[in-house]
Each structure stands twice: as structure tokens, then as C-alpha cells.
Structure 1
Amino acid sequence: MKTLDDVDRKLIALLQDNARLSTVALAKAVTLSRSTVQERLQRLEAGGVIAQYTVRLGSGGDPLRAWLLLRYGEGFSCDDVVPLLVELTQVRLVHSVAGETDLMVLVETRTPGELADLREKVAAMKGVDDVTTIPVLRTALDRL
């Protein structure tokens, strides 16, 4: 896959904001022909840059989001903890990071009580030494 140029990055940003944009609307936004944009999108898909088109729920179903910052117990690693997290349907994203935190886990629940229960479940997992909970108050930008 060749390096992404400014047009590729703009197409990706437009699709991240609204994956339902038509090829014609995308072409107009980047001032290229529809067929050129279609070829670029096919190249981005084939190269694995665009993996899927998805739906993001609107404010009618806004979940309560929070980041759980996890530290491993002595002798444990990502390979021990992540498979346990995968089993929890409220877990949306897991990042392995460097520093005092070992894993950043984005979770979504319906209520603060459900978040508290989930946090306790994660804190009790084998291999987890510490959990810090950071509720998301507002999302200023989300291009995931």
C-alpha cells in the first residue's frame, strides 16, 4: 500500500464523520471525479486502511462511557488479562500502553451502577492489581 496522501486522509476523515456519504458526495468534497474516488476507496479497502463501515449510535441511546486504567499484578501480562476482558460485552476498546498504566480499557454501560459493578468485576480478575476509573463527561471528537 502506498503512502496516504492528503486526499486519502480527507476521504477517511469524511467517512469517519459519516460512513453513509455517497461516492458522489465524497467526490464533490475532495473535488475529484466519482470514479477516481471509487478507485481510491477500493485501494484503501484492499490495503486494509478501511476495514469496515459501521454504525455509531446517536444520542437516543447514549451509553455511559468510562476508561478503566489497569495495572497488572506481579508476573502477569497483556496475554493473561486481555482474554478475560474480551469476554465482557461492555468492553469496547483495549489499548496496551507504556508507563504506570498497562492497559486502557474503554467500556460502555447504561447506568452508573452498572459501571460500578463492571469495575468491581474487572478489579477482581486474575492478573489485575489496580483499576482507576475515569468517566467520560463529553466526547469532543471521535473518529474511531
Structure 2
Amino acid sequence: MKALDAIDRRILTMLQDNGKATNKEIASVLGMSITPIYERIKKMEDAGYIKKYTTVVDKDMLGYHLMAFCNVRLKEHTKEYLERFEEQVAELPEVSECYHVAGNFDYLLKVTVVDMEVYHFFITTKLATLDNIGHVQSSFVMKEVKWEINVPIE
């Protein structure tokens, strides 16, 4: 696919703001017909610009009131150990994000649970039992100041 043009970027911006926007709605805003909008979106999906469509739910309404960021340091840093840790942590439903980072720690995990008791259970029976864990340091979210899933599209 060629580089994104201004129309593609506007379409992506609109879809980030409302993933349920129809091709008809997008076409109307952009002053275009439905078919070219459909074709542009399909090309962006096929090229990987659009990874998936999802629904953002309110974690607090569902009872998930504790969010923590876990810095994890591994004991060994061979390719096999890193891959194994990534496979294992990907299976933990409490972990919504995992990043391999540079610095004092190897990984940063975003963990969302109901409360501290559940977090303690997660740390002691799940995370601490993974292969090659050397050290875990947790930071707890006191207040969510900004949360944004959208990528700025210029």
C-alpha cells in the first residue's frame, strides 16, 4: 500500500474516535461516496494500519479498582529465557500490557485487578512462579490522570 494520504489519515482519526462509525457516516463527513471509503478502509486493514476493532469498557464499573505497574527483572537474559517469559506473561489475564524495556528492569507490566487481595494472589501464585523471575517492584495507580488509546495522526 502506498503511504497514507490526508483522506486515509482522516478516516483513521474518525475510526479511532468511533470504531462503530459506518462507511456511510465517514463518507458523509468527508463528502465522498461509500465505495471509496470501504476500499480505503479495506486496504488499510490488509496493510496492517488497522489491527482490530474493539470495545473499551469501564474497568471501575466492572469492579476492577486496582491498577499496578510491575517492573520485572529477570535472572538470565538469553533469548530463550526472554521468549519464555514473554510467552508465560502473555497467558496471564490480569496483565493487559507488557513491554520489554531498557533500564534497571527488563519488563514493565500493566496489571488490573479487583483489589489488593487479588493483586497479592496474582503476585504470589502467578507472577512469582514464572521461570527466571529475579525481582518485581510494584507501583500502584492512585489516580488516572490521562488515558488515551488513540495514536496521534498528523
Indicate the TM-score class for this superposition, using the shorter chain for normalisation.
0.7 to 0.9
Aligned AA (1:14): M
TM-score, reference length from structure 1: 0.80
1:90 paired to 2:91: no
Aligned mates of 1:110, 1:17 — CA distance in 2: 28
1:143 paired to 2:150: yes
Per-residue CA deviation, residues 77-111 of structure 1 (Å, 9 max, x unaligned), is: 42131122123121222222222221122222122
1:3 paired to 2:7: no
Which deviates the most, 4-13 or 39-48? 4-13
Per-residue CA deviation, residues 24-81 of structure 1 (Å, 9 max, x unaligned), is: 2222344433222211101011112212211221353263333222111134542131
Specify every segment of 5 or more residues in structure 1 that has no aligned partner in the other structure, as ranges: none
Aligned mates of 2:140, 2:133 — CA distance in 1: 19
Aligned AA (1:103): Y
How far did 1:21 drift? 1.2
Specify every segment of 5 or more residues in structure 2 that has no aligned partner in the other structure, as ranges: none
Which deviates the most, 60-69 or 126-135? 60-69
1:34 paired to 2:34: yes
Q: Residues 94 and 103 of structure 1 are in contact (CA less than 8 Å); yes or no, is this contact kept in structure 2? A: yes
Residue 44 (structure 2) aligns with: 44
Percent sequence identity over matched residues? 24
Aligned AA (1:89): P
Tell me the matched-pair count: 144
Aligned AA (1:15): L
Match of 2:128 among 120, 123, 130: 123
CA RMSD of aligned residues (A): 2.4
TM-aligned CA distance change 1:119 to 1:50, over 3 Å: same
Aligned mates of 2:138, 2:116 — CA distance in 1: 12
TM-score, reference length from structure 2: 0.76
TM-aligned CA distance change 1:36 to 1:75, over 3 Å: closer
Which deviates the most, 107-116 or 35-44? 107-116
TM-aligned CA distance change 1:11 to 1:85, over 3 Å: same
